[in-house]
């Protein structure tokens, strides 16, 4: 299994970015994809996640209404559309994959031993 993120960059507050996570190696749809971020000096935070087969999404309160996860099944890519960005959204964003998720997966389901991408930097200036 391989996850490759892209789409990070620098934007001004109020701007938008779309992150991509290219997923490969799974032989079934029984997995979930999560987006996490880590700001300097802070713990990793679960931002959003979705179950591939169930389709249920979860958003952290800090991003609800601003971030949207979506997927392109043909391209095996998961996106994180981020709007109304603020400096508090700055950090390294990672996508992760975990097998056999519950119907309503949350970020706590993902473990360090699951599959993780290399991360992409998002910097929002005020």
List per-residue pLDDT tens for the chain, 126 residues long.
999 999 999 999 999 999 999 999 999 999 999 999 999 999 999 999 999 888 899 999 999 999 999 988 778 999 999 999 999 999 999 999 999 999 999 999 999 999 999 999 999 999
Specify the pLDDT at position 65. Answer: 98
Report the DSSP beta bridge partners of residue 21.
Answer: 5, 78
Specify the pLDDT at position 73. Answer: 79
DSSP string, 29-67: S-EEEEEEEE-TTS--EEEEEEETTT--EEE-TTTTTTE
């Amino acid at each position: 299994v391989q996850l490759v993120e892209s789409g990070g960059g620098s934007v001004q507050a109020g701007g938008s970015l779309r992150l991509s996570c290219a997923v490969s190696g799974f032989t079934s749809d029984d997995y979930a994809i999560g987006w996490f971020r880590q700001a300097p000096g802070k713990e990793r935070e679960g931002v959003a996640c979705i179950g591939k087969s169930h389709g249920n999404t979860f958003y952290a309160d800090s991003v609800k209404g601003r971030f949207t996860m979506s997927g392109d099944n043909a391209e095996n890519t998961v996106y994180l559309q981020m709007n109304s960005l603020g400096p508090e959204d700055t950090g390294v964003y990672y996508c992760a994959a975990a097998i056999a998720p519950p119907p309503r997966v949350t970020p706590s389901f993902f473990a360090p031993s699951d599959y993780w991408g290399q991360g992409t930097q998002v910097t929002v200036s005020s």
